Amino acid sequence: MKKFILIIFAILAFYLNVFSETNYPFEVKIYGQGSQNIIFIPGWGCSGDVWNETVKQLEGNNKCYVLTMKGFAGLKPETSPALMNWVQSIADYIKENEITKPVIIGHSIGGGMAMMLAAKYPSLISKIIVVDALPALGALNDTTFKAQENPDCSEYVKQFTSMNDEQFHLMQINSIPGLMNDTAHREQVVQWTVQSDRNTLAMIFCQYLNTDMREMISEITCPSLILLEGYFVNIKPLISEQYKNLKTAELKFATKGLHFVMYDDTQWYLDQIDNFLKF
């Protein structure tokens, strides 16, 4: 009987360690028991499982906190999702759980959130790794871009929610070849997006598109590794201009592939992360 009780406690401890409290706008899975803490933030519509290969590489020597934002990849959405609230909540999670000086790794919108965290809470973060994200996405094709303080996202919400399931699925299938060369993971990424809440997708996309961190990133003091898709080397002056105020930035351009660098140029990507975390 005593042995049975111990087994039950072990199972409960495992689940308490894997899943975070639900009062945050995300769920957390925890892997590894290393001395260095790493928090992973996925991109738009993605599950934290997008980091599986990265976590497998790092969990032996690190404690990995893998987030999935509510409303993404089948998680129950918030009523009013807000990007800056998500950033604040991650900072609160770090403080409340006494996570010492984590490295933040973020992809796409998650990369933008990593920069926001490091700029707003420099004493909390030891390093950031930004995977294919820009400080001002809207400025990439519009030199006159200025962020709106309170953007009207109703048109995005209407566009996303007015499609039926078949239309939305087809839109994701048609868009994924422009984001990822790797065919092995395409259907999984499409399914994560299809399973996401449309209102959350629209609101977060709209808010991020109207974000300009080009001045904010001057507040980042920690080492910063910026891993960018191969195409961006063709417009390197524009990319460097966006990052010019991030004095700690180390810009690296993938040797091949598109937006999902972790899938399209996996070994290069893992090598960059390993080298950056060693020092």
Asked whether residue 19 is domain-assigned, the answer is: no
pLDDT per position as a tens digit, 9-57: 344 344 444 444 458 999 999 999 999 999 999 999 999 999 999 999 9
Structure-token match 């996303």, residue found = 160
Asked whether residue 17 is domain-assigned, the answer is: no
Count of structural domains within the chain = 1
Asked whether residue 2 is domain-assigned, the answer is: no
pLDDT at 7: 40
Residue 4 has pLDDT above 70, yes or no: no
Asked whether residue 88 is domain-assigned, the answer is: yes
Asked whether residue 78 is domain-assigned, the answer is: yes
Residue 42 belongs to domain with CATH number: 3.40.50.1820
pLDDT tier at 150 (50, 70, 90 boundaries)? Answer: confident
pTM for this one?
Answer: 0.92
More confident residue, 5 or 149: 149
- Which residue range forms the structural domain that includes residue 112? 24-278
Question: 127: alpha, beta or left, given left = phi > 0 and alpha = psi -120 to 50?
Answer: beta
Question: 182: alpha, beta or left, given left = phi > 0 and alpha = psi -120 to 50?
Answer: beta
pLDDT tier at 3 (50, 70, 90 boundaries)? Answer: very low
Residue 206 has pLDDT above 50, yes or no: yes
Asked whether residue 12 is domain-assigned, the answer is: no
Asked whether residue 14 is domain-assigned, the answer is: no
Q: What is the mean pLDDT of residues 148-161?
A: 94
Structure-token match 């957390």, residue found = 28
Asked whether residue 4 is domain-assigned, the answer is: no
Which DSSP symbol is given to 251? E
Q: What is the mean pLDDT of residues 134-161?
A: 93
| Averaged pLDDT of the chain | 93
- In SS3 terms, 146-208 reads as CCCCCCCCHHHHHHHHHCCHHHHHHHHHHHHHHCCCCCCCHHHHHHHHHCCCHHHHHHHHHHH
Question: 153: alpha, beta or left, given left = phi > 0 and alpha = psi -120 to 50?
Answer: alpha
